Structure 1
């Protein structure tokens, strides 16, 4: 039960930080952002003391470790892939335009309105 209360307190601290951002609308932007960061920090601090929070932090750590293992494409590969995508988009747009025009003529012909 204590862990559920801690989770509720963490959520309320985060909500208080966000509410502080809007309640301090007449103050400097830096102060408003600090209110959100303070609420977020306090929320994480309380969340850290719960088993769910600890599991979440372990998961985030593992996700960061996996993200570091990603092999990112080179600039050349990215450019080539982008160009292939653009060409395929143009081809599909032309194909769908031809199909649309064909269906429009067929509907007009079936309804006896010319064509």
Structure 2
């Protein structure tokens, strides 16, 4: 027996709902361009209405319900995160900038040293 919680098995009705929602989104985009002579506000409303209808159609399908559960779990997980304070964020940003400057100086020194070694000493191409 397969694990149904991990594996998504779409029924024919779910496939039709998802396909219908995609068709509604496409019709909203087509409507946006078909109404090119109309004011922009009306065109945007058509797209937003189509998007809302597509979301409503997809929401009642099994993948839509699974997405709702996933979104709730993600929200709860984000609430459990211990976010750094402003002071900690500024301190870590300063440490990262200092590290970048030190690495840039180190790499510049290595580059110039290899350039001097290769061009001046080995090849004798003094500038």
- Same fold at TM > 0.5: yes
The answer for unaligned runs of 5 or more in structure 1 is: none
Relative distance call for 1:32 and 1:92 in structure 2 (3 A) is: farther
Of Structure 1 and Structure 2, the greater helix share is in: 1
TM-score of the superposition, structure 2-length normalised?
0.74
Of 82, 85, 94, 1:83 maps to: 94
The answer for unaligned runs of 5 or more in structure 2 is: 1-11
Shift of 1:54: 0.6
RMSD in angstroms over aligned alpha carbons? 2.2
Is 1:51 matched up with 2:62?
A: yes
- Spell out structure 1 runs of 4+ moving beyond 6 A: none
Shift of 1:14: 2.5
The separation in 1 between residues aligned to 2:61 and 2:25, in whole angstroms, is 16
Q: Which entry has the higher C-alpha Rg, 1 or 2? A: 2
TM-score of the superposition, structure 1-length normalised?
0.81
